[in-house]
A and B are shown apart, each in its own frame.
Chain A
Amino acid sequence: MHKTPLDATHRALGARMIPFAGWEMPVQYAGIVEEHRAVRTAAGLFDLSHMGELWVRGPGAASALDHALVTAPSRLKPGRAHYAMICAADGSVIDDLIVYRIADEEFLVVANASNREAVAAELGERLTGHAAALDDASLRTALVAIQGPRSRELLQAHCSVDLEPLKYYGILSAEVCKRPALVARTGYTGEDGFEIYLAWDDAERIWNHLLKEGSAAGLIPCGLGARDTLRLEAGMPLYGQELDRETTPFEAGLGRVVKLDKPNDFTGRSALERAATGAAKQLVGLRITGRGIARTGYPVYLPAAAEAVGRVTSGTSSPSLGHAIAMAYVPPEHAVEGTALEVGIRNDRAAAVVVPLPFYRRPS
């Protein structure tokens, strides 16, 4: 089991640690709801050092990634990023990724911890024949995220570069607490926020510094539990739940990510061209209006029908909305907003209605 560089720090903060994707990770400190609310109203600090950081460098890096991924990283300007996926030849999703262009010939591809090895192996293979090299820096790169409406002012106090001009999905080099870092305006919470990539051994200093100086403003450490409820409210997919090797980006409502207009061939292209014309299932948001909480794997029915038509991929009691929410796959004809459905919860059926995603949008 891997440990992040902040393992001892989490334990000293009283975190409950759980195994996650081969790592010992904090699931909660003060409690999921309190941490969730801190991110919605002030700021939260997350250790995401388990994520995979894969560097792709070389004169052919941009064109190699255009060939390897469903997006067109060659269209990114240095200092910009986009959400991407690496798909198999059958169009299913191997992983969802963030691709940052750091320089003309240098990209940082961030993969889920659970898929790091699969993505590294697949990318390595797809880079063959291109003038590009892969460097898996995951086990020497720490990642600390600060998320929430107060994150910019809290990070700015310790950052050598003005963060105001840094746009959503932008990235820049800076010193954070006098240590070199890459600061990206990205996140997985539905709030403004930053992800800070730094050297493994600098994580503890930066974490402790940010937390100590930010606590008066409401900054608290947050675990994977709050990360999950935050991303679910924001309608963001989690690999293994909404995305997997049985699902295409189009079914997940993420067809816009697939750049079928790019000129070159890429892995999965022909399958994805077919998938674009009609999906077998569609991801929907559900508001549970009946009693109970829909959870991963629970069956979804048409009202009073005996046979399930779909299944829940993620569900929780929404801390921001005060009622149960879920994401589920259903046939496209039952995916229309306002459709009445039922979720099987143990021996009962709870009424549900299809609602637009995201469930929560931050006040602008």
Chain B
Amino acid sequence: MSYPDELKYSNEHEWIRVEGKIGTVGITAFAAEQVGDIVFVELPSVGDTLTATQAFGVIESVKAVSELFAPVSGTVVEVNDILGDAPETIASEPYGDGWLVKVELSDPSEVDALMDSGAYEEMIDAA
């Protein structure tokens, strides 16, 4: 499983790609594999506020419901609409078309507290 170097990772298995004030958020390949066949995702709406470490949505497999936790705080500026019809994209392209939301960061320094890919991979290997 891959964990791209340009992303930052939370210990709840979300990643974020920061470009200026905007962060794109998704779940890692590890998390997608753990969830299993993804059949449903519930995401916030544009304008909603995310708070770092707080739940902001759910992802469901055939078997179970898992919560999504925000890696950073901010305001939702875009939601990945294709996931309504094709939630399986989260697993097939976790770092590409399977992204979840884009947020305008309210406190960019929160990103510094996240893990780089090496630290994230170490956390998974230790689990």
Spell out A's residues near B (CB within 8 Å): 27-28, 31-34, 36, 225, 228-229, 292-293, 295, 316-317, 319, 324, 346
Contacts and interface: CB of A to CB of B under 8 A. Distances in A.
Contact of A316 (B42, B58, B63): B63
A293 B63 contact: no
Contacts of B60: 293, 317
A317 B40 contact: yes
Interface in B78-94: none
A24 to B, nearest CB: 17
A293 B39 contact: yes
A54 B63 CA distance: 30
Nearest to A34: B37
Given A31-B37, A32-B37, 5 more contacts: A293-B40, A293-B65, A295-B65, A317-B60, A324-B40
Contacts of B58: 346
Contacts of A292: 40, 42
Nearest to A318: B62
B47 interface: no
B84 to A, nearest CB: 9
B61 interface: yes
24 contacts: A27-B63, A28-B36, A28-B63, A32-B36, A32-B62, A32-B63, A33-B37, A36-B62, A225-B36, A225-B62, A225-B63, A228-B63, A292-B40, A293-B39, A293-B65, A295-B65, A317-B39, A317-B40, A317-B60, A317-B62, A319-B62, A324-B40, A346-B42, A346-B58
Interface in B40-98: 40, 42, 58, 60-63, 65
B36 A31 contact: yes
Contacts of B36: 28, 31-32, 225
Q: Looking at B36, B39, B62, B63, which has the most chain A CB atoms within 10 Å of its CB?
A: B62
Main secondary structure of the interface of A (DSSP, over half): mixed
Contacts of A317: 39-40, 60, 62
Nearest to A33: B37
A76 B37 CA distance: 42
A36 B39 CA distance: 14
Interface of B: 36-37, 39-40, 42, 58, 60-63, 65
A212 to B, nearest CB: 26
A316 B40 contact: no
Nearest to B58: A346
Contacts of A36: 62
Contacts of A319: 62
A26 B92 CA distance: 24
Nearest to B65: A295
B65 A316 contact: no
Nearest to A228: B63
Given A293-B40, A317-B39, A32 B65 contact: no
Closest 8 CB pairs of A and B: A317-B39, A33-B37, A32-B62, A225-B63, A31-B37, A293-B60, A316-B62, A293-B40
A27 B37 CA distance: 13
Contacts of A324: 40
A36 B40 CA distance: 18
A228 B62 CA distance: 10
Contacts of A27: 63
Nearest to B61: A32
A295 B42 CA distance: 15
Q: Looking at A293, A295, A316, A346, which has the most chain B CB atoms within 10 Å of its CB?
A: A293
A266 B60 CA distance: 44
B66 to A, nearest CB: 12
Contacts of A346: 42, 58
B5 to A, nearest CB: 28
Contacts of B40: 292-293, 317, 324
A293 B63 CA distance: 10
Nearest to B84: A291
A305 B42 CA distance: 24
Contacts of A28: 36, 63
